[in-house]
Amino acid sequence: MKTPHVLAIGSFAVHGTASLKTFTTILGERILPVPSLMLNGLTNMILVKKLDVPFTELLQSSFELAVNRELELILYIGYLGNAQQVDVITEMINTYRPIIKTIIVDPVCGDHGRTYVPADIIARWPDLIKLADLVFPNLTEIKIHTGYEPDGTGADTFYIETFRKQYPDVQLVITSIKTGDNRIGIQYYKDDECYSHSHPVLSKNYGGTGDAFLATFILNHFYNALSFDAALKTAADQTYELIKNSINRHSNDLTLSTIKLL
């Protein structure tokens, strides 16, 4: 049985620890990184500049080379550089679907009750969510992708059930969801069952923790052969330890070297 590679679409930031830098650190030689956008730093830093990349040519030629090398792929879609990339990605999925075994979508567009990408990108995310096998939004993104305000104050269960009705064919994992009693964690929905796992809220937030969680989930489930539930729990535990150790080191960035992930 072939070992799949992860063709990962996302942004690449020089300063900070997030997106493709995180995926490459955790997945190593298993990843085929395709930048959707280049930045000199994370978007919450001052003096940030965004630079376009030849995305269409790079993505298509990466798929062509995967076919030539007889690879099987896990396709991960994260941060997008512009709305037109949705059409490019959709065309590549239709063309190369036989070698794509799983599609994982992180519909990056907001967090903590606010949006941080342009409206035209947000409007196109549903096209990719509908193609996904697994989707990993946070609660703010759940609200956005069901047509509600990102800071909506309704019950979490209302937004979640609305999302599940709107996208009934995808497996849903909600990240960074508060579960009460000063705890935060994940919820996984499959049919009528809900699996959850949480940790105490820590004193500092780091950009890139969602990327670390997703990359470690992929590592644990697809490469270390853990069950879906066990891989989610292990990834959540490892990400929690990464945050805690980064805080203890007084680091400004998430420090992936503080825990053994492989």
258 confidence band (pLDDT: 50, 70, 90):
low
Q: In degrees rounded to 5, what are phi and psi of residue 104?
A: -115, 125
From 166, 172, 175, 181, select the one nearest 140 (Cα to Cα).
175
Give the pLDDT score at 181: 80
pTM score: 0.95
Q: Could you tell me which residues are beta bridge partners of residue 147? A: none
pLDDT of residue 45: 86
Beta bridge partners of 197: 186
Query: Domain 5-255 maps to which CATH number in 3.40.1190.20, 3.20.10.10, 3.40.470.10, 3.40.50.920?
Result: 3.40.1190.20
pLDDT at 82 over 60: yes
Residue ranges of the domains in the chain? 5-255
- Assess whether pLDDT exceeds 80 at residue 83: yes
